[in-house]
Structure 1
């Protein structure tokens, strides 16, 4: 009876033959898919479209896991090519995200984080300090 319901029989679970690389492939799918949930939650919290850095990290990790599965488990050239270069924009987006975050200024009056190139705090209206990097 367990056999008909897809239980463990002959190294299979739910009619799927499991081995190390198959687990890596499914883990890659899970990680890659979870990025949409993270983005959805972040967007709902802010009530505007938000792509947090966690989205890009999950994209990168999921892609590398799927690429590993394609290279060592599946050994399929189409699958390998699909993930061979898709990690590049994820790293680039992480770099851009980090640079943008570093460019923000903390308000000395209220500690609010203000957008880059702001002259005044959006929360309290205090004048923000001059940017020392743009002076020269």
Structure 2
């Protein structure tokens, strides 16, 4: 039974990550890596400050990863990804606009 499960899992992983590999899969993986990088940036910044902070780089990675993931969803015609990223990207852009406005006021 374990051998059959292992073989089935191997076939599945091969199909998903090797047989179907193309430009758009690579694009989607890069988008997800950028999106994940934002959490690393936020974690490092918070550890350094000793409190929870959200640096500008978090929002930049959010926008880049979110936009790329949205494009990936549109190209692949994945409604769950499209719906999940569409509003998120608007929120990321708005946060950057608010931060930039605050910085201009402070300067």
Q: Check whether TM > 0.5.
A: yes
2:49 pairs with 46, 51, 68, which one?
Answer: 46
CA distance in 1, matches of 2:42, 2:49: 11
CA distance in 2, matches of 1:18, 1:70: 16
CA distance in 1, matches of 2:44, 2:25: 29
Over 6 Å off, 4+ runs: none
RMSD value over aligned CA atoms?
1.7
Quote the residue 2:4 is aligned against. Answer: none
CA distance in 1, matches of 2:92, 2:71: 17
In the superposition, the TM-score normalised over structure 1's length comes to 0.62
2:29 pairs with 26, 29, 34, which one?
Answer: 26
In the superposition, the TM-score normalised over structure 2's length comes to 0.78
Higher relative contact order (CA 8 A, sep 6+): 2
Summarize deviations over 1:11-31 as a string: whole Å, max 9, x none: xxx621210110111011100
Structure 1 runs not aligned, ≥5 long:
7-13, 106-136
More strand by share: 1
Quote the residue 1:58 is aligned against. Answer: 61
CA distance in 2, matches of 1:96, 1:32: 21
CA distance in 1, matches of 2:56, 2:50: 17
